[in-house]
Structures are given as structure tokens and as C-alpha cells.
Amino acid sequence: MRASQQDFENAMNQVKLLKEDPGNQVKLKLYALTATERPCNMPKPIVFDFDDNAKQDSWKCLKLHMVETSRQNYVDLVSSLSSSSEASGQGNCGADEKVQESKDIVVTSEDGITKIVFNRPTKKNAITFQMYQEIMLTLKNASTDNSVITVFTGTGDYYCSGNDLNNLISATGEIQEAQRDEQTVLTRELVSSFIDFPKLLVAVVNGPAVGIAVTLLGLFDAVYASDKATFHTPFSQLGQSPEACSSYTFPKIMGPAKATEMLLFGKKLTAREAWAQGLVSEVFPESTFEKEVWTRLKAYAKLPPNGIKVSKELIRKNEKQKLHAVNAEESTVIQERLTSEECTNALLNFASRKAKL
Ligand SMILES: CCCCCC/C=C/C(=O)SCCNC(=O)CCNC(=O)[C@H](O)C(C)(C)COP(=O)(O)OP(=O)(O)OC[C@H]1O[C@@H](n2cnc3c(N)ncnc32)[C@H](O)[C@@H]1OP(=O)(O)O
């Protein structure tokens, strides 16, 4: 059966959605196959000297045949490109392209690096429910895309100010009961997706980090910080409790006494203090931060990916079960905390702008 006009148009749309660039040769071929669809100003070929009507009929017939054949070839070629692109990318993003964009979480893939950007600078990149969902989806895609490293960073002066405290507060400034469960479930699911993420996970901490943006760092493989970054987990001030397995990872990373200062007393650390305590891999001067870190990451992304993956698996696998158990336990406590008077007051104070860290 010949490809219809509709098949052809579908194929034209499919080309725009290809996960991988098919290359110039294929693009030229595709372009050539659409030639019969475009108006052609060249004179019609006069092969035999028949009368005008016969020539017209024969030309129409030839053109129809060419159009149908070209359409069919075009549809077949696009179909083969789509299936090979799906096989290599496993239905996810290919290299060197913008793979997912929403307003607040921007995802690009280039040079073997999937970059996930908190992009809500006017709110210091605070994480909304919608962003929780988008981050989880992105991690799912990144775990099977062509990239070697997945990087989180922030737009503007902040890395991320943590959970959006308005997630639970209505427009009229009251606590929304129904959102408490959603907050707990989303937090647990988000943390789970970090625990299970199979590839290298790196944080490029461009500025202050607060709350869950800090606690999650304990689940990253490397953390690079600008010297203007700070690390703050004000859970006690908010009547909340630690999440993202930090009740387990922080004492392990920095020792219980230092973890207490951060998680219980809400002591804010400078980048150098966080480095001294093992939460940060390396601190860079703000003036050279971006250049140095990205140059380095691009070089790391050229390392053989499978070796990295199995090495990460070796480092993490004995911890996974424990981390999931801690995540579950922390979620139970968070759920209780969210109904507490302490937490309710802190959230209402923030909403009425009485409280700031
Ligand atoms: C609710 C329980 C859920 C448990 C789940 C686990 C998650 C836990 C956490 O992440 S706890 C940490 C939560 N984060 C905070 O407590 C930070 C709150 N923000 C602040 O204290 C300050 O905004 C600041 C110190 C981050 C920055 O101060 P400043 O430089 O003076 O800027 P502004 O305060 O004017 O901020 C600009 C703009 O952004 C809004 N904003 C900043 N952070 C948040 C946030 N976390 N949630 C919601 N909104 C935030 C701020 O309100 C301003 O908005 P406005 O311009 O007034 O509309």
C-alpha cells in the first residue's frame, strides 16, 4: 500500500521529534524526497513530441507516480530513523540537545552531561510540587539516556532554597490539610529516585542551598561549590525534621557532633566549612567557578561510562537497602511533624512574612 498524504505529514512531524540528529547525508536525502511536494519552476521535461494534451496527461501521471514513490520512500526512511533512534536512546533523550524544558526545571543534554537546572530565580529556586514531579521524571529519563553524568545546578544567585513553603499554604494563607500527604509522598518518592539513580550524580552548587537542597547532597557522588555557596538545614526552626536520608548520611559523612550542629541547631555552613566536613568535594572561587567546574565535568564525561556505572554500583549497593529504610522512617516523622503546632506556626509565619532564615 502506498503512503497517503496523511502518512507523509505524520512522517514530517516525526522527523522534528527524532531523538538523534540523523546527520547531513540523511537530511539531504529527506530533503530530496520532499522535492515533488514543492512547486518547481523548472520547465517540464519534453521527451517526445506528442500533442499538448497527451504531454500534460503523461506529465501528471509521471508526477503522481514520483510523488507517491517519494512519499513512500520518505515515510519508510523516517520510520527506520525513528526505530533506530528509539533503540539507541531507549525512548529517551539523545546527545547534544535540549531534552526537556519546563519553566522551572530546565534540562539539557550536551557533551555526555545531562544538566538539570532549578530555574525559579525570583523565588530563590524553591521547589514546588510540580518541580518535584519534573525532577523525578528527568532522573528517570537520565538514567537511560546517552549521558554519563547528571548535574544539578541553579539559575541566579541561589542554588536552591529548598522546599517551597507555600506548597502547603493556600492563597488565603491557611494550611492546606490535603497537601500534607502529598508533600510526604512526593518527598519520599523524590528521595527514592536519588537513592536508586544509577549514574554519576554531581551538584554544582552556585550559591546558597537550603533544606532539602542540602540534605539531598548526601546522596550525590560529588559536590562542587562556589565559595559564595552556603549550606543551611533549618529544620528545628521550622518545626520539621531531617529528610533525604540526612539523619543517616550526615552523621556518617561528618560525624554525629557536626551533623547535630547542622541538622538540629540549624547552623549555616560556608562552602569551606562544608568542604572541611566532607559534604563538599571541592570549593572554587566564584570568579572561575563555572569555567573550572564545567571544563572538569566535560573531561570526566568522556570516561568509559560502563566502568563508572559498575564502580558506582559497587560503592552504593550495600547502602541502598539501608537508605530506603531510612527514607521510609524519615517520611513517617515528616508526616507527623507537618501536623504539629510547631511546624504549622513556622509555615504560617513564613507565609505572613514574619519569618525569614
Ligand atoms: C513543609 C514541610 C515539607 C518537608 C519536606 C522537606 C523539605 C524541607 C525543606 O526544604 S525546609 C527548607 C525550606 N526553605 C526555607 O525555609 C527557606 C525560606 N526562605 C527564606 O528564608 C528566604 O527567602 C531566603 C533566606 C531563602 C532568601 O532571603 P532573601 O534573599 O531576603 O530573599 P527573599 O526572602 O525576598 O526571597 C525572594 C522570594 O523568594 C521566596 N522564597 C524564597 N525561598 C522560598 C521557599 N523556600 N519557599 C517559598 N518561597 C520562597 C520569598 O518568599 C520571596 O518571595 P516574594 O518575592 O516575597 O513573593
In a domain, 235, yes or no: yes
Domain boundary among 44, 70, 89: 89
Q: How many CA atoms lie within 13 A of 17 on its CB side?
A: 11
C-alpha 156 – ligand 1 centre gap (Å): 14
In a domain, 174, yes or no: yes
How is the beta sheet containing 269-270 ordered, strand by strand?
209-210, 230-232, 269-270
Check if 117 has its Cβ closer than 6 Å to any atom of ligand 1.
no
In a domain, 294, yes or no: yes
pLDDT of residue 294: 98
Ligand 1 probe mutation, 161, 192, 264, most atoms within 8 A of CB: 161
CA 170 – CA 44 distance, rounded (Å): 70
pLDDT below 50 — which residues of the chain?
40-50, 55, 58-59, 61-62, 86-96
In a domain, 357, yes or no: no
Domain boundary among 89, 108, 127: 89
One domain for residues 292 and 148? yes
One domain for residues 74 and 172? no
pLDDT of residue 208: 98
Domain tally, the chain: 2
Check if 346 has its Cβ closer than 6 Å to any atom of ligand 1.
no
One domain for residues 108 and 20? no
- Cβ 150 vs Cβ 199: under 8 Å: yes
Tell me what ipTM this predicted complex has: 0.98
One domain for residues 195 and 230? yes
One domain for residues 230 and 145? yes
One domain for residues 78 and 133? no
Check if 357 has its Cβ closer than 6 Å to any atom of ligand 1.
yes
Residues facing residue 209 across a β-bridge: 160, 231
pLDDT of residue 63: 57
CA 131 – CA 149 distance, rounded (Å): 21
Check if 161 has its Cβ closer than 6 Å to any atom of ligand 1.
yes
Q: Which residue do the cell numbers 541561589 mark?
A: 158
Domain boundary among 89, 121, 149: 89
CA 48 – CA 123 distance, rounded (Å): 74
Strands 200-205 and 209-210, by their bridges, are unpaired
One domain for residues 24 and 122? no
CATH number of the domain within which 40 lies: 1.20.80.10
C-alpha 123 – ligand 1 centre gap (Å): 7
Domain that holds residue 25: 5-89
pLDDT of residue 99: 61
Buried b / exposed e over 269-291, threshold 16 CB at 10 Å, is bbbebbbebebbeebbeeeebee
One domain for residues 112 and 48? no
In a domain, 244, yes or no: yes
Q: Which atom of ligand 1 is nearest to the CA of 237?
A: 16
pLDDT of residue 4: 73
pLDDT of residue 158: 98
One domain for residues 70 and 203? no
One domain for residues 301 and 341? yes
One domain for residues 221 and 294? yes
* Residue 171 grid coordinates: 492563597
In a domain, 33, yes or no: yes
In a domain, 356, yes or no: no
Q: Write down the pTM of the prediction.
A: 0.76
pLDDT of residue 53: 55
Q: How many CB atoms lie within 10 A of CB 31?
A: 11
Nearest residue (by CA) to ligand 1, atom 45, is 164
